[in-house]
Amino acid sequence: MVKQYVSKNTWAPGIFDGKVVFCTGGAGDICSGQVEALVSLGANAVILGRRQEATQKRASEIAAIRPGAQVLGLGGIDVRSVQALEGAVATTIEKLGRIDFVICGAAGNFLSTVENLSANAFKSVIDIDLLGSYNTVKATLAEVKKRKGRYLFVSATMHYTGMPYQSHAIAAKAAIDALSGALSIELGPYGVTSNTLAPGPIAGTEGMARLAQASQLDKLTRNIPLQRMGEVSDIADATVFLFSPAANWITGTGIVVDGGAWRRQSNHEPYPEIVMSGEPVADVAGQKGKHLQRAKL
């Protein structure tokens, strides 16, 4: 048995031949990387996004990596609308014939203290991240059950320790972990698995640009036990594993892919000054509130 588990490459070519992946937030840096890996190994795909042109462009780029690959880019899809997702599922079945894997990756985030965070802004993140994930499950469930398929939710690690300026995202991701656990129990008897994947700081992504100061990236990297930022390929590899036959008996759990970063993420210095200063943050794209307070990474 051990001798058979030998290959020149980590993943065997064609292991996802005939499979179809349905991915929300699929035009984003991390999610499109996940889909790209699956397509390169034989899958066809549909990626969903809010921006029509960007979603279709990314779908074309992914399709080009494997001759004969079919990748649909469905833009103008708001995951807060279950009707929009049902329409996307119908298109997927019409064009690709099935849905085996679902990646719930649509998310929204910005930096804000609770003091400056309106109830509407908090609700917006909950609706995109949590309700959007639930809507995606509802829309795809019948098809995934047919195929004894797999759900994967893109989560985070912030709620493991707590983190300032992220109360909205922390609440949403903690709930997503709980939702995935509940699904693993309800859907397990049908042969369907449900897991989460929690990325750490991933270099070169829009998320890092929105939530981290460029001037602090070196310090952030030194605070990661493995002493480097993550790459999109790190997340893609974990995704391939969870959808591969190697993970047939894995459900109701999560994989953290962060180089050990979450073990040190609560080390915000100096504390409590960082949450009391009221100073705005420079060099960060994702901000909310007039007097944003921000931890220095």
Could you report the per-residue pLDDT of 46-71, keeping only the tens digit for each? 999 999 999 999 999 999 999 999 99
Phi then psi for 197, rounded to 5 degrees? Answer: -130, 125
User: Could you tell me where the DSSP H helices lie in 49-166?
Assistant: 52-63, 82-96, 119-126, 132-147, 158-161
Residue 6 has pLDDT above 80, yes or no: no
- Whether residue 149 contacts residue 101, with contact meaning beta carbons closer than 8 Å, is answered with yes
Task: Check residue 288 and give its pLDDT.
Answer: 53
- pLDDT tens sequence across 224-271: 999 999 999 999 999 999 999 999 999 999 999 999 999 988 766 667
Task: Check residue 108 and give its pLDDT.
Answer: 92
Catalytic residues, which ones?
155, 173
Under the banding of pLDDT at 50, 70 and 90, the label for residue 123 is: very high
Q: pLDDT: is 206 or 287 the higher one?
A: 206
Task: Check residue 292 and give its pLDDT.
Answer: 38
Task: Check residue 221 and give its pLDDT.
Answer: 86
- What is the secondary structure of 246-296 as a DSSP string? GGTT--S-EEEESTTGGGGTT--SSTTGGGT-----SS-S-B-STT-----
Task: Check residue 294 and give its pLDDT.
Answer: 32
Task: Check residue 275 and give its pLDDT.
Answer: 73
- Whether residue 38 contacts residue 65, with contact meaning beta carbons closer than 8 Å, is answered with no
Task: Check residue 290 and give its pLDDT.
Answer: 42
Task: Check residue 215 and give its pLDDT.
Answer: 62
Residue 284 has pLDDT above 90, yes or no: no
Residue 255 pairs in a beta bridge with 197
**Two structure tokens written together for 112:** 């804000």
Residue 8 has pLDDT above 60, yes or no: no
Task: Check residue 124 and give its pLDDT.
Answer: 97
Task: Check residue 120 and give its pLDDT.
Answer: 96
Rounded to the nearest 5 percent, the helix, strand and coil shares of the chain are 45, 15, 40
Q: In this structure, which topology does domain 20-275 adopt according to CATH? A: Rossmann fold (3.40.50)
Average pLDDT (146-169) is: 95
- Whether residue 180 contacts residue 62, with contact meaning beta carbons closer than 8 Å, is answered with no
